Amino acid sequence: MESVKALLAHTSRDWTRVKTGESGDLVYRREDGLAYAKIASSARSVDLAGERNRLLWLQGRGIATPEVIDWREVEEGACLVTTAIPGVPAADLDRDALLKAWPSMARQLKSLHDLSSDQCPFDRSLSLMFAKASDVVSRDAVNPDFLPPEDRGRSARELLDRVERDLPLRLAQEVVDGVLCHGDACMPNFMVDPHSLQCAGLIDLGRVGKADRYVDLSLMIANAEESWATSEQGQRAFSILFETLEIEQPDRERLAFYLRLDPLTWG
């Protein structure tokens, strides 16, 4: 991907590699800290273009998200340059700080869910994601690191069959509870002001689309549970999230279903 990286040279700025995402994309930060570049291989260019299109669609809709600065594509791949959302990822906060930031993170998610999904041209539906999971499993491409410990000894086919058994019920629920979802609402994708502990915005929006709201809720709860020091803190955060989203009776089985599906869709 050297020729793709060369696309950054036209900016006359220095860039520092900061991470490799779960998708395999390379991420760079500009020297002034005000912009990021994401570089994808040719196999991932369509997905990166999808993230660009989602960011462009979200602009002006009241959600704090990165703005597209530049897009360049060559035969070997593509490069997306966006503005930076100030702050630190929620994943970097300690347990107490995360709990203080949690209400504003829940409100940020609610603002996204409250946007009219009927106007959204992007699909994140269960039928689409199950088809993606089926493809990942058929290629034997499930990343075992994404699976919970209790599932790592099971075959990918067995895990997919378990999801498929619940599919009719979850498809029916999606019709009722379909909203505009982030699609990957985990702690690294919520940016938080470290001083005010208020959510500053959302990043990594390549999976935005209409889906069951529990797609986001399941990941948000599961990721944060790893940081809560006590069951009391965890229960408090659980209550705050569902009260903010005005869900009176959380469906724990539906949360578990989407947590079982998500690891099968990466690969």
Catalytic positions, written as ranges = 184
Q: Residues 234, 99: contact at Cβ < 8 Å?
A: no
| Rg of the chain taking only CA atoms, in angstroms | 19
**DSSP E strands, the chain:** 15-20, 26-30, 35-41, 68-74, 77-83, 88-89, 178-181, 190-192, 199-202, 209-212
Measured between alpha carbons, how far is 192 from 197 in angstroms, rounded to an integer?
6
Neighbours of 85 (CB within 10 A): 20
What are the backbone angles phi and psi of residue 65, rounded to the nearest 5°? -135, 160
Spatial neighbors of 45 by CB under 8 A, at least 6 apart, are: 73, 77, 78
Q: How far from the centroid of its chain's Cα atoms is residue 152's Cα? A: 22
Structure tokens at 219: 């990941």
Q: Cα torsion for 201, 207, 211, 216, to the nearest 10°?
A: -50
Contact 146, 263 (CB under 8 A): yes
- CA dist 3 and 253 (Å) reads 47
DSSP 67: P
